[in-house]
Amino acid sequence: MSSKFRGLGVAVVTPFHKDGSIDFKSFSGIIEHLIKGKVNYIVVLGSTGEAVTMSKDEKYAVINCAIDTVEKRIPIVLGIGGNNTSEIVKCVQKTDFTDIDGILSVSPAYNKPSQKGIYLHFRAIANESPVPVIIYNVPGRTGSNITADTTIKLATDFSNIIAVKEASGNLDQCMTIIKNKPKNFLVISGDDALTLPLIALGADGIISVVGNAFPKQFSELVQLCFMNDFKKAAKIHFALIDIINSLFAEGNPAGIKAALEIRNLCQNYLRLPLTPVSKTQYHYIEEMINAYIG
């Protein structure tokens, strides 16, 4: 189950028109751009996709557009998460998983559950999910951390919890998981800037933001790491690192949407409460991209 999620996954943005409606033409265009760039899979309706600002009907429309565009060429992972366990379980039960290959589910935000609560939350999801589950640890967004012990226990107890997207930035925690995890359980970086060092330590890839704009280059970086050619991978890493840092300086997905507009892939519109990056930051991102692509 887990092998299809090894490599480069991209958390796809959701483009909007100026009036706030979803720009499905640009959404399909970005997906084609990602497939052409040889990404291994995509994640739709994640935090980068601004899913929390969408209605149920909009989410269904985005899912259907992704399925129709992908045409089974690469796996699709669907973001289903939140801080109300029973509602997430109901959502899983009602979702048609035809042509959906997995779930990415973020740890509950705001509630600040105990480790027992986090474990039981993901147990409830795993017990209902007909597809593999990737748990998502991002303390900077959720306000709580999934410890290495909790991740390993979930990985051990539930065969359909097949991976963790680790965005804690805590290398010691990531190393503990990599050292003690079950054999087929994947550790996936949630930080673009840490992709190379984490794969060097035994991680299995990245669910990327910058990959929206530079899928070919980031895919090459990941594959070089898998081939243990870290010298060549480091060249790509250092060529992209200033861009990566610039994209997150004023928050995600504001930075990547600016980059995608600069690359003529979508317009630079977000839904409140998110706003575009400042003009100063936009110009800095533009300078970084222009310097990179020559």
Catalytic machinery residues? 136, 165
User: In the block, which residue shows the tokens 């998981």?
Assistant: 177
Give the residue from 119, 189, 121 showing the smallest Cα distance to 157.
119
The most distant pair of C-alpha atoms in the chain lies apart, rounded to whole Å, by 51
Strand-pair category, 76-79 with 41-44 = parallel
Q: And the tokens for 257?
A: 């949407």
How many whole angstroms separate alpha carbon 260 and alpha carbon 213?
6
Report whether 42 contacts 34 (CB < 8 A). yes
Calculate Rg over the CA atoms of the chain: 18
Query: Hey, what amino acid is at 268?
Result: N
Q: What is the DSSP letter of 47?
A: T
Sign, CA torsion 233/45/17/69: positive
Pull the structure tokens for residue 94: 């009602």
Q: From CA 89, how far away is CA 135, in angstroms rounded?
A: 14
Q: Where are the alpha helices (DSSP H) in the chain?
A: 24-36, 56-70, 85-94, 115-128, 139-142, 148-157, 171-180, 195-200, 215-226, 230-248, 254-262, 279-293
What is the Cα–Cα distance from 189 to 208, expressed in whole angstroms? 8
